[in-house]
Amino acid sequence: MRTATFLLLALAVSAQPPQTGVKFSAASNLVVLNVSVRDSGVPVTGLKKEAFTIFEDDKPQAISVFEFQKLELDPLPPAPPPRTIERPAAPAKVIAASAPGSVRYQDRRLLVLFFDFSSMPPADQIRAQEAGLKFVEKQLTASDLVSVMTFSTRLQVQQDFTSDRDKLRDVIRGFRPGEGSEMAENVDAAGDDEGEDTGAAFTADETEFNIFNTDRKLSALESAAKMLAPLSEKKALIYFSSGVGKTGVENDSQIRSTVNAAVRANVSFYPVDARGLTALPPGGDASKSAPRGSGIFSGQSQRNQSNKFNAQQETLSTLASDTGGKALLDSNDLGEGIVQAQKDLRSYYIVGYYSTNTAEDGRMRKIRVRLEGQPRAKLEYRQGYYAAKQYAKFDSADKERQLEEALALADPVTDLPIAIEVNYFRMTKEKVFVPVAVKIPGSMIGLRRKGKSEVGELDFIGEVRDEKGKAVGAVRDTIPLKLSEEAATRFGRRQLQYDTGFTLPSGKYRLKFLARENRSGKIGTFETNFAVPVIDAQQPGLQMSSVIWSGQREPMAAAVGAADSDKKLKKKSALHPLIQDGQKLIPSITRVFRRDQNLYVYFEVYYPALDPQDKTPSLAAGVSFFKGNGKVFESAAIRQVAPSRPHTVSFQIQAPLAGFAPGEYLCQVNVVDELGRKFAFRRSPVVVAP
């Protein structure tokens, strides 16, 4: 059973990818390679163009660009004392590009110091700042050109490539510690049943926010790589952060897209963990209150703490290894990460050719370089690239093939930002309904005028595979959009939400989902693993569905597009747990709500204990809001005694947000099975916007 609807949603606060404001395009099919040639680790110099032979898909290519980059490692004399800063330097905003096929920076080593303030608490920001200043003042060489980028809420180029120590020092000294650190992930954050004992009943878990925060970090790195792509030279991006956490529901496609963008741009990532060598004392350090729960005694708290720390460093290692860089982890000398990039960027050759394959089909082109007269030499270069795509020339068959190929490609396309939430609800003893909600910013959807309306079209394709890689579910929809003049004027400030679903047995699965906007051809990809739990009477504890957090109930008639006919959609909607009386509860993927909204919470309880006499359950549930150390709101307890389906009791709780001050809250669902003497707590951070 699968349903598909498409709704236009009001936008509260959107988690948009960083906007650089810069777009580069190439007017030819020039392919540039950076080829390192080493013999016993020593760069081989003096080679001529005739010594190289390049093959693309086993076809020889004529070399059109050939340059040798000679890079030195001898440090400059120590810098003079720093001058006084009257005001912080204005951001440079752009990286100056070079003409296709030309070398802008001859015999220069290009290093980018990228400070991710969104991932670093103030103490780590200060350490990263000091490492940058030390490098500029004491470790800069005559071959080095340095650029400075920062990311807090958006990506900024603070300084284009320069060897001017005063400019670089002024930019780095102008950083304000604490900027953007409110989203820095805390490695001491525990699970649902453990955490810091602050005197409140429970503490905030920021997992949901870090889903989007993680994607924003990776998207910023991808944008930085694309800004550097027009430069033919090798580039090293030194990424200062406090780790990039994994929440289990983030978009796996984004990290692959970031890596692929860096490989295409000849950029190597050198992540530096600004936390340095860190000891993780059981239960947290002295800045935290004593933990609650039994995990501190069983060792679970320590395991959770260690696993989270390792996951944060694993992402840094992946970025480094997949782009040819190295990660600096567990070291208090953060400057070693920059020095390592210096040492790795040794002398190399820039070799370019105009591909004889002019097809703009988006396919992978494999590259092979052969060197004559150097049998012992070791060559390092990128092994291939993905060709460009010209969507405007696609016919309907090409468009369909593009979607199918994009679903199978290892190179995910992430031009269209999308976010996905996966939930689960028991339907029968063997089957579980898995609704999938997909959200797309309205500002990314192209519309055209047709009569008195604005129209557009989106394509969706997705598949679910089990642990063995077998396809167990698929979706393919084309959704036409039709908006009135009034709705179209507000379109850019709203969100579009597409809903579908799969019926699956319990188990572990992987979802890959693509959305394409059919006017521009932009494609977004989302990949994630998810699990469908076993739900039966033999399972310990209180059996529950996912908890749906929502700020809107919409009439099904309000859908701006649908994949099915009205009759077919009505039949499917009757089986959908989130549709009641023609109204659909819209899951809030971002957990951001406005004060003029009501918070709707929906969930189901399975196999509750029954009264021996009348065979009915007795359940009670409520919602609590926590902020800081105290409880700020608690709804009245809702008591349910009648099942909505066999072995199922459903709850829908409503809480008005008008009286809440703007800010972040912990929202917690409390459920009690009075007869079975069981209870459960589900919680999520939410943000109330003005």
Is residue 684 domain-resident? yes
Tokens of 188: 């001491």
Residue 682's contacts (CB-CB under 8 Å, 6 or more residues apart) are: 192, 544, 547, 603, 668, 669, 671
630: pLDDT confidence band, cut at 50, 70 and 90?
confident
* Residues sharing a CB contact under 8 Å with residue 450, sequence separation 6 or more, in sequence order: none
Residue 602 lies inside a defined structural domain of this protein: yes
Residue 305 one-letter amino acid: Q
Sign of CA dihedral 421, 634, 609, 579: negative
419 plus 378 within the same structural domain:
no
Residue 274: inside a domain, yes or no? yes
- 270 and 158 both lie in a single domain: yes
Contact indicator for 466, 430 with CB cutoff of 8 Å: no
Looking at per-residue pLDDT, the higher value among 78 and 9 belongs to: 78
| One domain for residues 357 and 473 | no
Q: Say what the pLDDT of residue 129 is.
A: 93
Say yes or no to pLDDT of 172 above 60.
Answer: yes
Most confident of the ranges 248-262, 373-387, 405-419: 373-387
**Helical pair 300-321 and 252-264, crossing angle rounded to 10 deg:** 30
Same domain flag for 463 and 498: yes
- CB 547 within 8 Å of CB 684: yes
What is the structure's pLDDT at 269?
Answer: 94
Residue 633 lies in a domain: yes
Question: 483 forms bridges with which residues in the sheet?
Answer: 454
Contact 463, 473 (CB under 8 A): yes
Distance (Å) of CA 262 to CA 257, 297, 320: 9, 45, 10
Q: Are strands 144-151 and 109-116 parallel, antiparallel or unpaired?
A: parallel
Band (185; pLDDT cuts 50, 70, 90): low
- Domain match, 283 and 303 both: yes
Q: Residue 376 is part of which domain span?
A: 30-71+348-382
As a whole number of angstroms, the distance between CA 627 and CA 610 comes to 36
What is the SS3 assignment for 505?
A: coil
- Higher-confidence residue of 188 and 129: namely 129
The whole-angstrom distance between residue 352's C-alpha and the CA centroid of its chain comes to: 33
Alpha carbon distance 674, 544 (integer Å): 15
Which of 382, 398, 433 lies at the terminal end of a domain, its last residue? Answer: 382
pLDDT at 202: 29
Percent of the chain having pLDDT more than 90?
Answer: 24
Closest to 34 measured CA to CA, from 112, 103, 114: 103
What average pLDDT does the chain have?
A: 79
Q: How confident is the model at residue 585 (pLDDT cuts 50, 70, 90)?
A: confident
260: burial class by Cβ within 10 Å (0-12, 13-18, 19+)?
Answer: buried
Q: Are residues 472 and 520 in the same domain?
A: yes
pLDDT digits (tens, 9 = 90+) for 193-210: 444 433 333 222 333 334
Considering the domain boundaries, does residue 669 fall inside one? Answer: yes
Tell me which DSSP letter residue 570 carries: H
Kindly state whether residues 360 and 493 are assigned to the same domain: no
Q: Are residues 233 and 250 in the same domain?
A: yes
Distances (CA, A) of 420 to 69, 133, 244, 251, 268: 45, 41, 20, 8, 30
Kindly state whether residues 431 and 456 are assigned to the same domain. Answer: yes
**Residues 107, 71: contact at Cβ < 8 Å?**
yes
pLDDT tens string 293-321 = 555 666 666 777 777 777 778 888 989 98
Least Cα distance to 134 among 186, 69, 75, 180 occurs for 75
Burial class of residue 398, CB neighbours in 10 A (0-12, 13-18, 19+): middle
Q: Are residues 339 and 352 in the same domain?
A: no
Six-digit token string for 203: 């503490």
Sign of the four-CA dihedral 478, 483, 487, 492: positive
Residues 159 and 250 in one domain: yes
Q: Looking at the predicted structure, is the pLDDT value of residue 230 above 70?
A: yes
Q: Which helix (H) or strand (E) holds 472?
A: strand 471-483
Identify the domain boundary among 364, 382, 400: 382
Lowest mean pLDDT among 159-163, 423-427, 682-686: 682-686
Q: What is the number of structural domains in the chain?
A: 4
Can you read off the two tokens belonging to residue 82? 């720093």
Clarify whether residues 145 and 61 are in a common domain.
no
Is the pTM of the predicted complex or chain greater than 0.75?
no
Q: Quick check: is 564 in a domain?
A: yes
Q: Judge whether 89 lies within some domain.
A: no
584 belongs to a structural domain: no
Which CATH number covers residue 470? 2.60.40.3880
- Report the CATH number at residue 144: 3.40.50.410
489: Cβ contacts below 8 Å, ≥ 6 apart: none
C-alpha–C-alpha distance, residues 54 and 62, integer Å: 8
| Burial of 550: CB neighbours in 10 Å, binned 0-12, 13-18, 19+ | buried
